[in-house]
A and B are shown apart, each in its own frame.
Chain A
Amino acid sequence: DTGVSQNPRHKITKRGQNVTFRCDPISEHNRLYWYRQTLGQGPEFLTYFQNEAQLEKSRLLSDRFSAERPKGSFSTLEIQRTEQGDSAMYLCASSLVQGSYEQYFGPGTRLTVT
């Protein structure tokens, strides 16, 4: 059983560039979540999918952010025209839609915008 994986693990980009992150959930999990965590804070919810449908988006997810899960398996999170305030750890989690709905997290992608 390979847990949740995320790529890349680290990304350094210049302000104004676009970046894309990938998340591969646990294979049988049909829910996938994205969170953002800044230094010294707990993770904050961004969005979640059930299969390929994006069911909820936080107001933190500005127009520059877009997330997809085209085939209900892996997901991508794209940030356009990055700003220094986007520097954070981006965490992905997955869960089943039954039982405890326990969320399992990946290792995260650390984004640094210079």
Chain B
Amino acid sequence: KQEVTQIPAALSVPEGENLVLNCSFTDSAIYNLQWFRQDPGKGLTSLLLIQSSQREQTSGRLNASLDKSSGRSTLYIAASQPGDSATYLCAVRGGNNRLAFGKGNQVVVIP
């Protein structure tokens, strides 16, 4: 069974600092990995998807890397803003087509 772990569970950073969120997974046989953002009481917004053959993806201030062989992904958010405050979820898709999620990184950006 795929296990996904996200560290740290929660963090607070001052505005302008870079954010580094970590995700690890136990089974490296994945098709892709998605990073999502979730605001309190809301659904999930897809931020980035990395295919298993890719090493990284970038979108604006967001950059996600993938090291499939070691079972790790990192989401970098540059120059954080208060609007980045949310929970960030990492999910991996294996051969069974379901997404396996971590518990999330709860981020607070302090103005």
Binding site for B on A (CB under 8 A): 4, 6, 31, 33, 35, 40-45, 48, 55-56, 58, 89, 91, 93, 100-108, 110
B86 CB, nearest partner CB in chain A, Å: 14
Binding site for A on B (CB under 8 A): 4, 31-32, 34, 36, 41-46, 49, 51, 89, 91, 93, 96-104
In the complex the two chains form, is A104's CB within 8 Å of B46's CB? yes
In the complex the two chains form, is A42's CB within 8 Å of B43's CB? no
Partner of B98, one of A40, A42, A45, A91: A45
In the complex the two chains form, is A56's CB within 8 Å of B99's CB? no
Give the chain A neighbours of B99 by CB distance below 8 A.
33, 35, 43, 45, 93, 103
In the complex the two chains form, is A45's CB within 8 Å of B41's CB? no
B10 CB, nearest partner CB in chain A, Å: 10
Give the chain A neighbours of B43 by CB distance below 8 A.
4, 6, 91, 105-108
In the complex, which residue of chain B has the Cβ closest to the Cβ of A41? B103
| Complex-state Cα separation, A8 to B43, whole angstroms | 13
A100 with B89: in contact, given A43-B99, A45-B100, A110-B41 (CB under 8 Å)?
A: no
